[in-house]
Amino acid sequence: MAETSIPNKQTILNIGILLGLCFLLLFWELGELPFFSRGEPREGLVVWEMYSSGNWILPAVNGDYIPFKPPLFHWFGVFAAHLFGHIDEFSLRLPSAVFATLGVLMTYLAARRLWGERAAIVAGIVLVTNAEWWQAGTDTQVDMTLAFFISAACLYFYFLYEQRDFGLVKCLGLPLLLGLATLSKGPVGLAVPCLVFLIFLGLRRDFAFVKKLHPFASAAVFLLIAGSWYGAALWQGGPAFFFRQIVDETFRTAVGSYGHFQPVYYYLPIFLENTLPWSFFYPALALFIYQRRDKLSDEKLLFPLVWSVAVLVFFTASLGKRGVYILPLYPAIALLFGAWWQRLEENLAPPYWLARVIGFFVAAFCLLVLITLFFYFAAENGLVDRRLFAFMTRSNNLSRILRSLTPPTPLVIACLALYASALFCFIWTLFNRNWRTAVASVSLIAFSFAMIMKNAVFPPIVFERTMKPFMSRVNEKIDPNLPLVFYRGFDLGAVFYARRHIPSYETKAHDLKPPF
């Protein structure tokens, strides 16, 4: 394990860099975009009901809707609402942004402890520029809270294992984290890290380690934290809670009869896409791990490898799938990537030609994107025949992205300038085999692309789909004492921005008076 000392200037600088990236990708304009999808207002309404009714156990959303998820994320949302004195998009997204930032810092500190500063800063940057990570970190969803506590539990377990320190107080930190993970999204918060632990201990042939973790005291702590809420919710919600939280959300999702059914290969393209441009280097990372297959444990690579594979296999086995479900996988991948890149800088990760070939491919791909955008902007301004780029508008998604960038705002221009500068610097580093500067260049490429997506591409889509302006007009024109109902439809965003319960017409028809 790498030497850990009092934070030096390099550590302070690296943490400052990561905090700066987190601020720009997570906190900057966090509350500017309104809710437009189903998920955010659904969780926001749970927080609103808790805040307005005082029921922190099992609030009835819209008067009759039992929440799908346990309440840990919502409790943090209520705390933020009390802190700011109101509920809005910023206060509701703040817990996710905080946990995403803590996850980045935790990954950095873990990599620093295992391998050193260079691995640590690379791991932190790889994680914060991960598209799924920063998107989940700006969403009013429970998934980032779950990912943080699963990752924290995994790292806590591993450092307990490495230190062989079995004091009661220290060991009880593990069930505390597992209990909080379970309170984030249910039994999956316990199942995933326990699967990681069991596979790791099986490979190490050390199941006796479990006995040293004070299992009875640990079970008591876990049941106290997670079980207390489940008991209170079951007492309050009865069979309806059991079927909604346990049967539907956990078991029926796993077998694909409830939720988002997807094929077995669903996560592979999602995983590769979310980790761009770092995913181009996965062949070199895989070869690096294979070359060290006999000493994975000695080089501290075994546990993050088991962690990443176990998470991927667990969620792949479930028939209900969403891209955000594999969020706990990304800190483990970032750790492995940081370890490999540090060895690359130290000339300890042959063959070096493979990383250079991949690097030139990445540079060529990024250069093609830059040239294409340049000529597209030229065509939009009449400098080039637009028919030459007609093929680019045949894809609805690509056409939407290009329209959102035209005309380019000062922020887009600045990001493209940063992208171009980093790209040419990256090409120079490949010729000079300067891997330290290369990772900085790729980091800036990934960051500039993320900033463009967040601040230029997403906003037009959001404002096109949100119910916020419509419900603002409804609130202005409709007397709050008059009934408001849904007729042949339902939208959680409309309920959230109405700040009142809106039942369906069918359920309230017998109570309504003319002209309704």
Q: Which residue has the higher pLDDT, 175 or 257?
A: 175
The mean per-residue pLDDT over the stretch 413-420 comes to: 96
What per-residue confidence (pLDDT) applies to 484?
87
Which pLDDT does position 253 carry in this prediction? 62
The rounded distance, in Å, linking the Cα atoms of 109 and 455 is 29
Q: Bridge-partner residues for 486, per DSSP?
A: 504
Q: What is the DSSP letter of 446?
A: H
Give the model's pLDDT for residue 6.
Answer: 59
Look at residue 516 in the predicted model and tell me its pLDDT: 57
Q: Provide the pLDDT for residue 251.
A: 64
Hey, which residues does 233 pair with through a beta bridge?
none
Handedness of CA 205, 208, 214, 220 (dihedral sign): positive
Q: Name which of 1-15, 320-334, 465-479 the model is least confident about.
A: 1-15
d(CA 127, CA 134): 9
* Residue predicted with more confidence, 222 or 69: 222
Residue 258 confidence (pLDDT) above 60? no
Residue-wise burial string across 271-289, b where 16 or more C-beta atoms lie within 10 A, e elsewhere: beebbbbbbbbbebbebbb
Q: What is the pLDDT of residues 434-486, one digit of tens each?
A: 999 999 999 999 999 999 999 999 999 999 899 999 999 999 998 888 888 88
Distance CA 227, CA 46 (A): 20
Percentage of residues of the chain with pLDDT beyond 90 = 70
Question: Taking 90 as the threshold, does the pLDDT of residue 291 lie above it?
Answer: yes
DSSP for 20-86, written as a single string: HHHIIIIITTTTTSPP-SSHHHHHHHHHHHHHHH---SS--BTTTB--SS-SHHHHHHHHHHHHHTS
**pLDDT surpassing 70 at residue 16:** yes
Output the 3-class SS for 96-142.
HHHHHHHHHHHHHHHHHHHCCHHHHHHHHHHHHCCHHHHHHCCCCCC
- Give me the amino acid identity at 80: A
Residue 81: per-residue pLDDT: 96
pLDDT of residue 342 exceeding 70, the answer is yes
The rounded distance, in Å, linking the Cα atoms of 215 and 65 is: 37
- Total Cβ atoms within 10 A of residue 174: 22
* Domain coordinates in residue numbering, the chain: 9-254, 353-464, 468-511
* pLDDT tens digits, 157-168: 999 999 887 889
Q: What is the DSSP string of 369-397?
A: HHHHHHHHHHHHTTSS-GGGGGGGGSSHH
**DSSP secondary structure, 321-338, as one string:** --GGGGTTHHHHHHHHHH
Compute how many other C-beta atoms are within 10 angstroms of the C-beta atom of residue 432: 10
The predicted model gives 390-400 an average pLDDT of 66
**Rounded distance, CA 191 to CA 150, Å?**
10
Which residues lie below 8 Å from residue 161, measured CB to CB, with a gap of 6+? 200, 209, 303
Q: How many CB atoms lie within 10 A of CB 509?
A: 12
CB-count exposure of residue 189 (10 Å: 0-12, 13-18, 19+): buried
pLDDT at residue 391 in the model = 61
Candidates 418, 280, 423, 273; CA nearest to 356 is 280
User: 260 falls in which pLDDT band (50, 70, 90)?
Assistant: low
The pTM is what? Answer: 0.93
- The whole-angstrom separation of Cα 167 and Cα 95 is 32
pLDDT of residue 238: 79
Task: Say what the pLDDT of residue 374 is.
Answer: 85
Q: What is the pLDDT of residue 223?
A: 95
pLDDT for position 66: 80
Closest CA to 193 of 166, 167, 160: 160
Q: Which has more pLDDT, 260 or 379?
A: 379
Banded model confidence at residue 383, pLDDT cuts 50, 70, 90: confident
Query: For the residues of 217-244, what is the DSSP string, one character each?
Result: HHHHHHIIIIIHHHHHHHHHHHHHHIII
Reported as a single tens digit per residue, the pLDDT across 57-88 is 999 888 887 887 899 999 999 999 999 999 99
* Burial class of 290 by CB neighbour count within 10 A (0 to 12, 13 to 18, 19+): exposed
Determine the pLDDT at residue 21. 98
CA distance 166 to 311: 26
Task: Measure CA of the first residue to CA of the last residue in the chain; give whole Å.
Answer: 72
Looking at residue 68, its pLDDT comes to: 77
Q: Which residues of 135-166 are buried (b: 16+ CB within 10 A; e: fewer)?
A: bbbbbbbbbbbbbbbbbbbbbbbbbbbeeeee
Decide if pLDDT at 244 tops 90: no
pLDDT of residue 515: 60
Q: Are 89 and 106 in contact (CB under 8 A)?
A: no
151 and 103 Cβ atoms separated by less than 8 Å: yes
28-37, 267-276, 324-333, 373-382: least confident range:
373-382
Instruction: Please state, in angstroms and rounded to a whole number, the distance separating the CA atoms of residues 279 and 272.
Output: 6
Give the model's confidence band at 343: pLDDT under 50 very low, under 70 low, under 90 confident, else very high.
Answer: very high
Q: Please state, in angstroms and rounded to a whole number, the distance separating the CA atoms of residues 164 and 279.
A: 35
Instruction: Judge whether 213 and 158 are in contact, CB under 8 Å.
Output: no
Buried-exposed string 321-352: b where 16+ CB fall within 10 A, e elsewhere: bbbbbbbbbbbbbbbbbbbbbbbbbeeebeee
* pLDDT above 70 (res 249): no
Whether 250 has a pLDDT exceeding 80, the answer reads: no
Closest CA to 129 of 414, 449, 366, 439: 449
Q: What is the pLDDT of residue 489?
A: 84
Query: Which of 246-255, 396-405, 485-494 has the highest mean predicted lDDT (pLDDT)?
Result: 485-494
Q: What is the DSSP string of 139-180?
A: SSSSHHHHHHHHHHHHHHHHHHHHHT---HHHHTHHHHHHHH
Query: Over the stretch 31-50, which tens digit does the pLDDT of each residue have?
Result: 999 999 988 999 999 999 99
> Does pLDDT of 367 surpass 90?
yes
